[in-house]
Structure 1
Amino acid sequence: MADDFTPRYGEVEQMAPGIRRVLARNAGAFTYYGTGTYIVGNGAVAVIDPGPDDADHVHAIRAALEGERVSHILVTHTHYDHSPAAVPLKAATGAEIVGCAPLVLDDNGPRADAGFDRDYSPDRVLTDGDVVAGSDWTIEAVATPGHTSNHLCFAYREGEALFTGDHVMGWSTTVVSPPDGDMADYMRSLEKLLERDERIYYPTHGAPVDNPRRLVRGMLTHRKQREYQIVALLKEGVKHIPDMVARMYVGLDPRLTGGAGRSVLAHLVDLKERGQVRETDGEWRLCATSARD
């Protein structure tokens, strides 16, 4: 975490015209300083990623909207740090919950907040290109599977902005955790964003990204470099994911080791589906043709 940033928990921050943020007090190794809940518009507003089911956070959102009406609660995906507050916020405001499809899995990933919200029940599921609107805002759903299969970003047309959930974060790369997380989908979703023209990204965790195309290109390059590292280690005879993580992530915060392992697994699954590696009882090896390349 950056030392020059002081979180303003529970306060409303004006990020740009038509965009406000309220930060939840759920900082952690995978949530950075916490979940940033965004408010779009004025008067009749949309709330994006209401966050964890925390009474103080829900109260802070409602306080930020005193005298206004929430028409839509939008959810990028259903991890515990993004969607659970939709239920109490809907109860308090009567707003419609819209966004990603429900998804519940017994995920064996590394992070406590990576479990799926079993109570998420949207009034309307949005698919790629679907639009919701208010008097001074228009939001388009952009399907971006990879981090989770149900992940959406939300494009705010009037602000030339994209709310990126966990798909793109300025402070870290996202965890891609099988079986639901899919590296091939994640790479395709990054490439999809390069074809768009938003000038700024607002991740749910971390600061705005004001040069998004450069960051996305860097993320694609980073993932390709990780794949090359994995293939090189397999050529050396390294067979187990923990040994790969130790070689690839020197000096990594121990709290992030599990997440790194899940992303390595996601790369290996992708390589396996492409016929380049095989796995037997937790041991990974290059296929014969790949080993000769």
Structure 2
Amino acid sequence: MAAVIPVVTKLSNRVIRILGCNPGPMTLQGTNTYLIGNGRNRILLDTGDRDVQDYQKNLAEVVKAEQINIEHIVVTHWHHDHIGGVENLYGTIAKQPQIWKHKRDSSDAPDSELPNTLPLNWLADGQEIKVEGATVKIHHTPGHTTDHVVMTLLEDNILFSGDCILGEGTAVFEDLYTYMKSLSKILELKPNVIYPGHGNIIEDPTQKIEYYINHRNQREEQILDVMKKNMEKKFNEMDLVKVIYVETPEQLWPAAAYNVSHHLKKLTKENKITYFQVDGENKWQYTASRSNL
């Protein structure tokens, strides 16, 4: 069982973690939000869900106790449990912060998570944001979502991983190909420690990142193995989940099926499996290698 995360934790002289008070199957104990810096003006990374009064109360108490001003709000990505609280905080707990987020891909739906009345600044890969006692660097890491960013605290080489890497379990993603590239990018950063968007601190970052990479590769091998052993059968995502994810709680099977679907799309592009529509349902079948003779 994962260690319980307190609602407020001073992780270092530069970082305070405030739990989003929004637990659930996908959010674990809740969204981790972080106040960064050690002077009056600080950065808030992520804001939890909208209208969570316990979170707002806890954050307000920290702001008052530390006598600080939230100068910047940085959002790792557009999901509601990271961006939802911005509207509650702007003009109240955070008086007039600069709000930062990376643009979504042009193929995505337009950005509409925040009201047009709130100012929104676009993040760039490699951008740095500075406050007293802290300099953070932005790294665009698409895959979980097209706009996802992680952030390094340069003074301590701490990585804030958002939903790319979690404190427990593995992450879901929109695109496996870009997600794998982002994991390799994070591995190259060689952080000393990871502060994730959900779950506890990761003290062995290299081992964790390599596990994520190896895990996805192993899942792909498992999918191919099941399909190869049943070459005459056409599988949908849930067929494969029931065979491969036997140790995963059943309530998480839909999320597992979502990940499997992305593996299947990747394998289809690589001509390792074949896609069919059977009675309006998506199905895949192992593609037997053919001799060129």
Could you tell me the TM-score, scaled by structure 1's length?
Answer: 0.88
Aligned counterparts, 1:33-48, within 5 A: 33-42=29-38, 43-48=40-45
SS of match in other structure, 2:161: strand
Counterpart-to-counterpart distance in 2, 1:149 and 1:275: 25
Counterpart-to-counterpart distance in 1, 2:72 and 2:274: 46
Question: Which residue in the other structure is 2:209 paired with?
Answer: 216
| Letter aligned with residue 229 of structure 1 | Q
SS of match in other structure, 1:284: strand
Counterpart-to-counterpart distance in 1, 2:189 and 2:5: 31
- Greater shift in the superposed pair: 235-244 or 188-197: 235-244
Structure 1 residue 232: Cα displacement: 1.2
Counterpart-to-counterpart distance in 2, 1:290 and 1:31: 45
Aligned counterparts, 1:1-293, within 5 A: 1-2=1-2, 5-9=3-7, 12-42=8-38, 43-53=40-50, 54-66=52-64, 67-92=67-92, 93-101=95-103, 118-119=113-114, 123-176=120-173, 181-235=174-228, 236-237=230-231, 238=233, 239-281=235-277, 282-289=282-289
Gaps of 5+ in 2: none
Counterpart-to-counterpart distance in 1, 2:290 and 2:78: 37
Does structure 2 retain, via aligned residues, the 8 Å contact 1:99–1:124? yes
Deviation string for 1:160-217 (max 9, x for gaps)? 10100000112010012xxxx1001111111111111210110010111111111111
Gaps of 5+ in 1: 107-115
RMSD (Å) for aligned C-alpha atoms: 2.1
Structure 1 residue 122: Cα displacement: 5.7
Structure 1 residue 271: Cα displacement: 1.2
Counterpart-to-counterpart distance in 2, 1:168 and 1:196: 14
Taking only the aligned residue pairs, the percentage that are identical comes to: 29
Does structure 1 retain, via aligned residues, the 8 Å contact 2:137–2:152? yes
Deviation string for 1:81-118 (max 9, x for gaps)? 11111122122221110122257968xxxxxxxxx973
Number of positions where the alignment pairs a residue of Structure 1 with one of Structure 2? 275
Does structure 1 retain, via aligned residues, the 8 Å contact 2:22–2:48? no
Does structure 2 retain, via aligned residues, the 8 Å contact 1:45–1:134? yes
SS of match in other structure, 1:193: helix
| Letter aligned with residue 277 of structure 1 | I
- Greater shift in the superposed pair: 54-63 or 199-208: 54-63
| Letter aligned with residue 164 of structure 2 | H
Deviation string for 1:211-246 (max 9, x for gaps)? 111111111111101001111122123512111000
Bigger-Rg structure (1/2): 2
Deviation string for 1:21-66 (max 9, x for gaps)? 1112211111111111100012110000111112331232122111
Could you tell me the TM-score, scaled by structure 2's length?
Answer: 0.88
Query: Following TM superposition, where does structure 1 have runs of at least 4 consecutive aligned residues deviating by more than 4 angstroms?
Result: 102-106
